[in-house]
Structure 1
């Protein structure tokens, strides 16, 4: 067994690679290009696992992340975030290194700045909002989208590459059928935009980007590329949505037990909001919780233990509420595994991974 003395993010390498293989195989089966989002793992080593499965193009969520992965030899990178014009000099440095860059656009002023200040051409996605009002132009704003497309095509440094949609409302659903319906409607709306663009729309790529849809949907007609990220680890949100099985979750936080309260049937662990974030779910009784407990094993962990949950977080403290029977089986000095609600945030906070063969894998934020 590994020696754990403080909160540690454990990575099941075998399961992680199985998750990658499954998505790569699915993309091939449906003849769509997989451009995986690396924001979940943010690791050079895990990136190499993708490369071993034939992945050549990647997605990131910041210029900083693009710089990191460009240094690791990735030459085709999409920055999936409404572009921040203050980072044009950093993008120029990437272009000077012959990195192919694709950016997101949602307004004309960004395109005007790019065409004035870039040192080499880039591809541009118009980000569309098909029902998840975070960023992107609403798909029914045809005139606005058309004007932006014309401006992009007019520019010497901007090439209109495609239309992008992240149907993030799939994360807020109650059923697999609802996830599939959101995707069906989203694809229809995006393709309607493409049709309305006429000649401008000819040859444009359509990319969809969420893990629930990319995992569950079996009809990719009208989609050219997919860019999911969370699937590399999955997490409890994905499990509760029936997107993944419990066994497919590839990360768990190992947390030492530091105190017990018999009066409250509570167990205190070293593992708080600085390790997990404060993302949460609700159980069947509508009680908020921040993680599920597993027992660590030689090469992984057990199934989720009934009768105990991570119910409260402060900065460093985690409080587990347990049944009397479970409470008696756990001692101060034990190390418990906690499956995270949101693996992307947990990985970003923990900043490194430990595999079961003792390998430390660093995260971008650790370097």
Structure 2
């Protein structure tokens, strides 16, 4: 297996450095063409080595989804971080501790209660920067762009000693549609929602310097981001089968896989057994509702070639079951015990979360195999 150790212990997480670099470059060029700032989301990678490749300036800006991510990346030198999950009062001490160590960490919220807690914490230990979360598609948290609460929260923060930085949204609904036109429409929904909210804050005499949007599909498809100051995206660094299924990338763009080994056969059922079950692949079945159901993952040869119609049809804790997808006319491949394979994941974030390191296929063919640490936790 070119680029990886021949005595690789499976299951393990594999990243193709050349594909990852191409994905990073594609997004950077796209955002530059839109004329806005970029705040890469580091939650998918959870790796300092990969963050160095995602961030042109290791100081930031960056986005995270856990305070553990904020702490690790701040220790590595990232100084401008948005914690993009609604804040709770119990976490404000950790936020202030990070800020005291020189990290400009901002939080998000969507309720008066959260705003009051942040204002109280700000009064005690210095202003905490805040973005108000806006709901652009009904998929998750946030306030409607015309909600009266936006102005109420703005006053609580601004007059209570916090730092009202602006507004943000995430078009999670873009994962449910396919094609560039549909994703461009979602990008416009994102843009319109936060620009509307920002205009209302400013009309009320409140500051709103930051107008933040982001998801990988909308970042790649947006056509006009007038009024937006920055874009956030994360899974683009690796892509996955869900992203391929909605047309945000091609299968060949996916840079992440799980290496696994054939451990047995059930010829009576047409099964090939491997040592990667749901503990390695995750239980994510994100392609189940798409035009092509990839089971728990699409199977590749060790050197990265797709094996036609072979997918992970079942997953126990440590056993994966490979079989031809329903209706396939192909013949099951001959894969003896000990054969090394790779599996492309449905959801890169969920699969990567099962591991503590990346085994790197170097972009430089002559380079030695590498292992990059990965962390978890909250």
Same fold (TM over 0.5): yes
Per the alignment, residue 362 of structure 1 pairs with 373
The residue correspondences of 1:180-219 to structure 2 (distance < 5 A) are: 180-197=184-201, 198-200=203-205, 203-219=208-224
Q: Residues 325 and 22 of structure 1: is their aligned pair in 2 closer, same or farther, counting only changes over 3 Å?
A: closer
Give, in whole Å, the separation in 1 of the partners of 2:140 and 2:86: 11
Give, in whole Å, the separation in 2 of the partners of 1:338 and 1:245: 15
Per the alignment, residue 163 of structure 1 pairs with 167
Q: Runs of 5+ in structure 1 lacking a partner?
A: none
Give, in angstroms, the shift of residue 26 of structure 1: 1.9
- Which of 137, 148, 153 is matched with 2:143 structurally? 137
- Which of 322, 339, 345 is matched with 1:334 structurally? 339
- Higher mean displacement: 271-280 or 44-53: 44-53
Give, in angstroms, the shift of residue 338 of structure 1: 0.5
The residue correspondences of 1:303-342 to structure 2 (distance < 5 A) are: 304-322=306-324, 326-342=331-347
Instruction: Name the SS of the counterpart of 2:308 in structure 1.
Output: coil
Give, in whole Å, the separation in 1 of the partners of 2:291 and 2:219: 30
Per the alignment, residue 50 of structure 2 pairs with 46
Give, in whole Å, the separation in 2 of the partners of 1:233 and 1:172: 19
Instruction: Name the SS of the counterpart of 1:40 in structure 2.
Output: coil
Per the alignment, residue 96 of structure 2 pairs with 92
- Higher mean displacement: 43-52 or 99-108: 43-52
Per the alignment, residue 364 of structure 2 pairs with none
CA root-mean-square deviation: 2.1
Give, in angstroms, the shift of residue 279 of structure 1: 1.2
- Higher mean displacement: 121-130 or 318-327: 318-327
Question: Cα deviation per residue 1:248-269 (whole Å; 9 max; x = unaligned)?
Answer: 1111111111111111111111
Q: Runs of 5+ in structure 2 lacking a partner?
A: 362-367
Instruction: Name the SS of the counterpart of 1:289 in structure 2.
Output: coil
Per the alignment, residue 147 of structure 1 pairs with 152
Give, in whole Å, the separation in 2 of the partners of 1:312 and 1:172: 24
Conserved in 2, the CA contact under 8 Å of 1:277 and 1:349?
yes
Give, in angstroms, the shift of residue 140 of structure 1: 3.4
Q: Residues 184 and 145 of structure 1: is their aligned pair in 2 closer, same or farther, counting only changes over 3 Å?
A: same
Give the alignment's TM-score, normalised by structure 1: 0.92
The residue correspondences of 1:47-126 to structure 2 (distance < 5 A) are: 47-52=51-56, 56-118=60-122, 119-126=125-132
Give, in whole Å, the separation in 2 of the partners of 1:254 and 1:284: 25
Give the alignment's TM-score, normalised by structure 2: 0.90
Give, in whole Å, the separation in 1 of the partners of 2:163 and 2:176: 34
Q: Residues 196 and 324 of structure 1: is their aligned pair in 2 closer, same or farther, counting only changes over 3 Å?
A: closer
Instruction: Name the SS of the counterpart of 1:49 in structure 2.
Output: helix
Question: Cα deviation per residue 1:293-336 (whole Å; 9 max; x = unaligned)?
Answer: 11122xxx12x221311111111111111369653421111011
Question: Cα deviation per residue 1:267-303 (whole Å; 9 max; x = unaligned)?
Answer: 1111111111111123888766111111122xxx12x
Per the alignment, residue 221 of structure 1 pairs with 226
Give, in whole Å, the separation in 1 of the partners of 2:58 and 2:75: 19
The residue correspondences of 1:177-326 to structure 2 (distance < 5 A) are: 177-197=181-201, 198-200=203-205, 203-280=208-285, 281-282=287-288, 289-297=295-303, 301-302=304-305, 304-322=306-324, 326=331
Q: Residues 218 and 22 of structure 1: is their aligned pair in 2 closer, same or farther, counting only changes over 3 Å?
A: same
Question: Cα deviation per residue 1:92-133 (whole Å; 9 max; x = unaligned)?
Answer: 211111210111011122222222224122221100111133
Question: Are residues 1:27 and 2:31 paired?
Answer: yes
Question: Are residues 1:127 and 2:130 paired?
Answer: no
Give, in angstroms, the shift of residue 64 of structure 1: 1.5
Give, in whole Å, the separation in 1 of the partners of 2:290 and 2:55: 41
Conserved in 1, the CA contact under 8 Å of 2:187 and 2:219?
no
Q: Residues 123 and 202 of structure 1: is their aligned pair in 2 closer, same or farther, counting only changes over 3 Å?
A: closer
